[in-house]
Amino acid sequence: MTSEEILLREALLLGIEIKLFWFVALLYGICFIVGIAYLISSNNDIGRKLTLGLRITVVVHTILILFRTVEGMRPPFQNLYETLSWFAWFANATYLYAQSRWREVHLPGFIISGIAMAACLYSLFTRSPVIAPLPPALQSPWYEAHVITAFLAYAVFVVSFSVEVCYVRFKTPAEECPGIFGHIDEDFHRWTHRLVLFGFPFLTFAVFSGAAWANDAWGRYWSWDPKETWSLITWTVYAVYLHTKAIGKWKDTPASVINVLGFICMIMTFLGVNWLVKLFGIPSLHAYAV
């Protein structure tokens, strides 16, 4: 095939893929609406539909990711367009795995579908879908390791966050079980800790591999730029969370609050602090790259 024909074929495949990606975003959107209905009605039949919806979506989403893998002849982890999709997929898959252990608890699916939909739409609206070869600065094995582990950790933390929120908001004493929205009890809550414990080594590796990559690319493994510092804040907040889980008196509500704080820090690592800088009237002499 000539270069021109290859370029035409790439454009054609990309057209199909974009439609599939929009369809996945739509499926998450539908799940989110079912989630709202569940929240309003407290009807467990609707809750089951929400979980079923997320199961169908994870299958379609897997097809999308495989399609892009074949299209680009490499795993799709190389830019924000791809990693946001992979993040949504991983959050959903992790949630469904955990959910299979709780049987009648469906509520966190509401939060998961909302976040997954937001990630897909952010990717579709703001990023270019072109499968481009990597620019020199990103050609490092550290880069891929960095991106994969960071988003894997983030996805797991999102699930932990959604479980935490449901627990804090809807926990019921054991004797009243099955309680509203299924049986939200201590055992269910223990999952937040397990999930963070699972995600934390990956987040650690993400920070470490980011520094190792910076060290190879421009020789300075740490420059305290806002993005780096926010990733360190997120890491430290989750370390604090794990510590509070080991302190008898703090392992309930204080730990829950810190877990939610960890999630907020994670979002800040993404979105930056420009608005905070404006809020405090501080001249941002350094631009913050998202």
Subset of 102-161 contacting other proteins (CB under 8 A): 124-125, 128-133, 135-137, 139-140
Q: Toward other proteins, which CB reaches closer, 80 or 107?
A: 80
Shortest approach of ligand HEM to residue 188 CB, angstroms? Answer: 21
Interface mask (CB under 8 A) for other proteins, residues 11-50, using x and -?
Answer: x--xx--xx-xxx-x-------------------------
Shortest approach of other proteins to residue 38 CB, angstroms? Answer: 27
Shortest approach of ligand HEM to residue 162 CB, angstroms? Answer: 21
Out of 169, 190, 194, 243, the residue judged to bind ligand HEM by CB under 6 A: 243
Q: Toward other proteins, which CB reaches closer, 45 or 133?
A: 133
Is residue 246 a contact point for ligand HEM (CB under 6 A)?
yes
Which range in 7-15, 142-150, 170-178, 241-249 contacts ligand HEM by CB under 6 A?
241-249
Out of 46, 74, 204, 270, the residue judged to bind other proteins by CB under 8 A: 204
- The listed partner (other proteins, ligand HEM, none) that binds 133, CB under 5 to 8 Å by sort, is other proteins
Interface mask (CB under 8 A) for other proteins, residues 210-249, using x and -?
Answer: -xxx-xxxxxxxx-x-x--xx-xx--xx-xx--xx-xx--
Nearest alpha-carbon partner for 118 in 35, 24, 16, 206: 24
Is residue 242 a contact point for ligand HEM (CB under 6 A)?
yes
- The listed partner (ligand HEM, other proteins, none) that binds 218, CB under 5 to 8 Å by sort, is other proteins
Shortest approach of other proteins to residue 77 CB, angstroms? Answer: 17
Nearest alpha-carbon partner for 254 in 139, 119, 164: 164
Instruction: Show Cβ contacts of residue 90 under 8 Å, excluding neighbours closer than 6 positions.
Output: 151, 152, 155, 156
Is residue 2 a contact point for other proteins (CB under 8 A)?
yes
Which range in 58-66, 67-75, 95-103, 242-250 contacts ligand HEM by CB under 6 A?
242-250
Question: 3-state SS string over the chain?
Answer: CCHHHHHHHHHHHHHHHHHHHHHHHHHHHHHHHHHHHHHHHCCHHHHHHHHHHHHHHHHHHHHHHHHHHHHHCCCCCCCHHHHHHHHHHHHHHHHHHHHHHHCCCCCHHHHHHHHHHHHHHHHHHHCCCCCCCCCHHHCCHHHHHHHHHHHHHHHHHHHHHHHHHHHHHHCCCHHHCCCCCCCCCHHHHHHHHHHHHHHHHHHHHHHHHHHHHHHHHHCCCCCCCHHHHHHHHHHHHHHHHHHHCCCHHHCCHHHHHHHHHHHHHHHHHHHCCHHHHHHCCCCCCCCCCC
Locate 244 and state its tokens: 């509070």
Euclidean distance between the first and final Cα of the chain, in Å? Answer: 38
Shortest approach of ligand HEM to residue 200 CB, angstroms? Answer: 5
Shortest approach of ligand HEM to residue 247 CB, angstroms? Answer: 9
Is residue 284 a contact point for other proteins (CB under 8 A)?
yes
Is residue 200 a contact point for ligand HEM (CB under 6 A)?
yes
* Amino acid, res. 182: G
Which residues contribute to the site for ligand HEM (CB under 6 A)? 200, 239, 242-243, 246
